[in-house]
Structure 1
Amino acid sequence: MASSALQVFGFTLGVLAWVGMIGTCASPEWRKNSHGQTLIDNTLKYEGLWVSCTAFVTGQTNCKDYAEFFVNLPQVLQICRALMISSIGTGFVAIIITVLGMKCVGLGSSNHIVKARIALLGGLLFGISGVLTGAAVSYYAQGVLQDYYNPSFAQGLTNVP
């Protein structure tokens, strides 16, 4: 069985990863354009799952929330939002379950075997949460690459999410 210090270390890493997932979900910089030498290219555009922003060379930044929660959004945003929300929810459940399974916490069962299994379940849920986040980020990145290599996107003929 794992020592209490190792359990606390693993729990701390899990909580830090969960906080990182929340930051990743809230970040407006899932997609950014590159800077160029022309005046048009000097406008920085970046988009996240919840907001789309434009930063001008004057220092002014305009951000616009997506008006819809799920309906009428591009499919990539719907899927990534669902995956990230599921990931954060799974991570929260993992935190609660892991606390109940830690040796150094007096809550829950006093049986060491039961506590070890509860801690293992919490660790598995942390892993599932990480896989969900990885799936969301990878799916979004695939969409960005697909748009990057799409010739009609470069000419401004496709819709930007």
Structure 2
Amino acid sequence: MSMAVETFGYFMAALGLLMLGVTLPHSYWRVSTVHGSVITTNTIFENLWYSCATDSLGVYNCREFPSMLALSGYLQACRALMITAILLGFLGLLLGILGLRCTNIGSRLLFRKAKVAAAAGSLHIVAGLCGMVAISWYASNITKEFFDPLFPGTKYELGSALYLGWSASLLSILGGSCLCFNCCCGEDEDPAPDARNSSWVPYKVATKPTSNHTVRLPPSDEGDSSFGKYGKNVYV
């Protein structure tokens, strides 16, 4: 059962990492709201890297943010956290391959594989937390500007990329938790000895020493039969 949980957690964490990789370049992190607008001529959508505007005909133009140092602090922090989450998740996948008991890569001892799997699970948990913090921070800034009546700029709503990122972070955390749970509840026994291990000596069954005394068989009954005592002429 623990091997199934371990494998399930690994693929869950891998799916979370894939979704985080899709979330990072996604265009719809925030979308301009139509709340309170009578006539809407264009729609603005942004992510961590650029901002785009589309008109009623569907034609849109995008521009990248001109300078990283000119950006707000939370936007730079969200970039760093998302990139860190993807790097940690990728490293967790590599360690997970070594730590899975269904693979023959790495050590063959179960307790060592469990430790490597737990390290991979910890990386996935940290990656999920980084992604969760980045996306929640970005969403918090959107909601703060939306409900601020004195905010002079364009107000935005939550984009579809944020919901995708929340789901990806949750999958990474759950997958990493499954890998760590397998380390806590795994078996400490070593696998069966392999023929490649030179220290393994095959077990030999001890034999009982035989006695040097010879066993004498009882005399045969054929010598005492009447046929052997009398000659053939007696029966003629």
Paired residues of 2:32 and 2:154 also in contact (CA < 8 A): no
Whichever residue aligns with residue 83 of structure 2, its letter is I
Identity, in percent, stands at: 30
The equivalent residue for 1:71 is 69
Which stretches in structure 2 are left out of the alignment for 5+ residues? 156-236
Q: Aligned ranges for residues 77-96 of structure 1 at < 5 Å?
A: 77-96=75-94
- Determine which structure has greater relative contact order: mean sequence separation of CA pairs < 8 Å that are 6+ residues apart, divided by chain length: 2
1:114 aligns with 2:102: no
Which stretches in structure 1 are left out of the alignment for 5+ residues? none
Deviation of the 1:8 alpha carbon: 2.1
The equivalent residue for 1:14 is 13
Q: How far apart are the structure 1 equivalents of 2:131 and 2:115?
A: 24
The equivalent residue for 2:141 is 143
Deviation of the 1:76 alpha carbon: 1.6
Paired residues of 1:35 and 1:43 also in contact (CA < 8 A): no
Q: How far apart are the structure 2 equivalents of 1:65 and 1:8?
A: 41
The equivalent residue for 2:2 is 2
Q: 1:157 to 1:127 in 2, by over 3 A?
A: closer
Q: How far apart are the structure 2 equivalents of 1:71 and 1:143?
A: 19
Name the larger-Rg structure: 2
**What TM-score results when the alignment is normalised by the length of structure 1?**
0.87
Q: 1:157 to 1:35 in 2, by over 3 A?
A: closer
Paired residues of 1:28 and 1:47 also in contact (CA < 8 A): yes
**What TM-score results when the alignment is normalised by the length of structure 2?**
0.61
Q: How far apart are the structure 1 equivalents of 2:31 and 2:84?
A: 25
Runs of 4+ aligned structure 1 residues displaced above 6 Å come to none
- Alignment match of 1:129 (pick from 127, 138, 147): 127
1:156 aligns with 2:153: yes
Count of matched residue pairs: 154
Segment drifting more, 59-68 vs 78-87: 59-68
